[in-house]
Chain A
Amino acid sequence: MRLRKKTRERLFIASFLAGPLAVYLVFVIWPYIETFGYSLTEWSGVAPPSRVVGLKNYADLFHDSIFLKALGHNMIILIVFPTVTIVLAMFFAFMLNVGGRRGGLGGVKGIRGSAFFRIVFFFPQVLSVAIIVILFQAAYESNSVGLFNAVVIKLGLTDANHPWEFLNSPTFVLWCIMFILIWQWVGFYLVLFSAAMQQIPRDYYEAALLDGAGRTQTYFKVTMPLLWDSVQTAWVYLAVAAMDAFALVATLTPGSSFGGGPDEHGEVLATYLMRNFQVLGKAGYACAMGVVIFFITLILSLVVMRATRRERLEY
């Protein structure tokens, strides 16, 4: 029997979409939806949810001092980490693409060794977070065996008998985590900004050059404004990463299950969520936390998109 052309096409579409959609709905979409549902129940995480408690979990969150502390830490990460990462990545991208001495197309080119720097800076991106964790675990070691202490002792900032505590220090633990985040992500955004910079027509630089603009001026008056779109995208993605930081905090900071120490000074939302779910038996509460994190991320992204909206320029 010959099917009609249209019917055959429909069958083809359906057969190609069925598999991918099924897997995606079962393992991604449904769990996300369930998070919202479970957040309204009192649920230990073992038996099916026993009782619907409405918004009680959410109300409890705002009286939970550890949650608020973790939220505060995430806010610090949210401000410091994207800002430093973007500034560094922009600077490096500028140096790599137009920071070199005159010559090249339109009088601009990258500094010497650009290709090498690009490969090296991007490298942390291809490392597993597990490798990064173990790497920094060893490097942050609070005695002269650790790489960073060896460096500060060599520089004469302290002596071998008084090594820096790094991850065990209530003051520095969060900054140590943020350093790793920045270390990990600068290369990625360097490549992203580089791609955007290469889209900028060389004539613009040449025009600025002919007008007598110096390099600093070219950077702030030509490059930066034209990269605005990419910066906006970068900020949104960095904000998502800042709300996460789970693997780093859970494995690097002191604390019995999922880290967070010393004394909650390193606690972030993601680790507190996992502890509630897997250790404290408060899965419903953990889901409520997940929903709150979701909305914070969403609102932040929308705010950034709105606040930084500008006219888009077509080259």
Chain B
Amino acid sequence: MAADMTQTPPSTPGTGPGAQRPEAGGKPGGGGRTPGERSRRFGESGATLNVFGTGFMAVWAIMVLGPVLWVVLGAFKNTSELNGSAWSWPHHFGFDAFSRAWHTGISTYLKDTVIVLVFSVTLTMLFGAMAAYVLARFEFRGNRFIYYLFVSGVMLPVYLALVPLFFQVSKLHMLNTYQGLILVYVAFSMPFTVFFLHSFFRTLPSAVYEAALIDGASHTRAFFQVMLPMAKPGLISVGIFNILGQWNQYLLPVVLMQSQHGEAPHYMLSQGLVSLMVAQGYSGDFPALFAGMTIAMLPVMAVYLSFQRQVQAGLTAGTLK
């Protein structure tokens, strides 16, 4: 890198940023017209970096995809193939392991998870939009305080509240019930949902809304019929975020969805998979476990691949101030 430094010609006033800015700003794709010699050097100095960098990125891509593909392939192997070499290829692609996984609990976990999510995501979106809307568009005493109360939750680690949360839910007799988990999911999704939609509602124009009010619509009606439809892109982003987050939640169900008085526990999918892992450790049916994981990954993968942009925007928006 030292050699690189000495080769750099000292900048002269004529080539400084100030002198070039107007020209550069005026033409898109300006790189093509930069002085040939200089841009060639830029390309050359990057050649080694480019090869090394691309190579390293390819390695990382393999590290991400490798284990995932290995698990999906594992679902098609039989036990002896799995216990042989990790490099073995399944002899025939049958779905026996999938049906075993399905019958040993995955179907129940899937059903329970879907039931919870239908209600929890809907309620999260409704409550989140209502609170964010009122906080973003109305001035009243305590507005800032309530907003910060909601948003501060983004920073707090969940496990810090786990001990008292368990007893809180227990006091309400909601341990191992759908409604208990639904309310807890809604509560813990509130900070991010409010934070995201708050900034979204702020950017919406108020002209249409005011017109609706003048036409005699109530605030409630104007919200549901005018503002919510306008906020659709934001609602989709944060909705996908909540679906993924709640679908993948592990810690909360582990604590809250345990069998209380000998009744059957309503396991969520990710929790059920871990219990399946423990069980398979004894019975040794790893293909079924891998098949279960594949079943659990499929919906997530479908959502991610089709809404890739919104997912990335939604997840990272939470950390941008």
- Among the listed B8, B28, B146, B190, which residue makes an inter-chain contact with A214, where contact means beta carbons less than 8 Å apart? B8
Chain B residues lying within 8 Å of A243, measured Cβ to Cβ, are 157
Complex Cα gap A127–B35 (Å):
47
The one of B16, B65, B163, B271 that contacts A277, using a Cβ cutoff of 8 Å: B163
Say yes or no: A120-B61 contact (C-beta < 8 A), given A127-B248, A244-B159. Answer: yes
CA distance A121 to B127 in the complex (A): 33
- Residue pair A38, B39 in contact (C-beta under 8 Å): no
Q: How far is the CA of A26 from the CA of B188 in the complex (A)?
A: 11
B236 CB to nearest chain A CB (Å): 16
Complex: A17 Cα to B198 Cα, angstroms: 13
B20 part of interface (Cβ distance < 8 Å):
yes
Assess A27 versus B187: contact at CB under 8 Å? Given A203-B21, A274-B159.
yes
In-complex Cβ contact of A16 among B133, B184, B305 (8 A): B133
A256 within 8 A of partner (CB) = no
Verify if B199 is at the interface (C-beta below 8 Å from A).
no
- Once bound together, how far apart are the Cα atoms of A195 and B314, in whole Å? 12
B24 near A106 with CB under 8 A, answer: yes
Across the interface, which residues of B come within 8 angstroms of A170, CB to CB?
none
Judge whether B293 and A286 touch: CB under 8 Å. no
Give chain A residues whose Cβ lies under 8 Å from the Cβ of B31: 102-108, 206, 209
- List the B side residues contacting A101 at CB < 8 Å: 43, 46, 50
Determine if B17 and A104 form an interchain contact, defined as CB atoms under 8 angstroms apart: no
Q: Does A226 contact B (CB under 8 A)?
A: no
CB neighbours of A213 from chain B (8 A): 8, 42
Contacts of A294 in B (CB 8 A): 156-157, 160
B34 touches A29 (CB 8 A): no
In contact, A13 and B165 (Cβ under 8 angstroms):
no
Given A45-B163, A135-B71, A188 and B316 contact (CB-CB distance below 8 Å): yes
Asked whether B35 lies within 8 Å of A138 as measured between CB atoms, the reply is no
Residues in A176-216 with C-beta less than 8 Å from chain B:
183, 186-188, 191-192, 195, 202-204, 206-207, 209-216
A215 and B46 contacting across the interface, CB-CB below 8 Å? yes
Given A10-B140, A188-B315, the answer on whether A293 and B64 have CB atoms closer than 8 Å is: no
Q: Which of A10, A138, A287 contacts B163 (CB 8 A)?
A: A287
A-B complex: 3 closest residue pairs judged by Cβ atoms: A107-B31, A130-B270, A207-B17
Residues on B facing A (Cβ under 8 Å): 1, 4-5, 7-9, 11, 15-17, 20-21, 24-25, 28-32, 34-35, 38-43, 45-46, 49-50, 53-54, 56-57, 60-61, 63-68, 70-71, 74, 82-87, 127-128, 130-131, 133-135, 138, 140, 146, 149-150, 153, 155-157, 159-165, 168-169, 183-184, 186-188, 190-191, 194, 218-220, 223, 244, 247-251, 269-271, 273-274, 277, 286, 289-290, 293, 296-297, 300-301, 303-305, 308, 311-312, 315-316, 319-321
Residues of A that sit less than 8 Å from B by CB: 8-10, 12-13, 15-17, 19-21, 23-24, 26-32, 34-35, 38, 45, 88, 91-92, 95, 99-108, 111-112, 116-131, 133-139, 144-147, 149-150, 154, 183, 186-188, 191-192, 195, 202-204, 206-207, 209-217, 230, 233-234, 237, 240, 243-244, 246-247, 251, 270, 273-274, 277, 283, 286-287, 290, 293-294, 297, 301
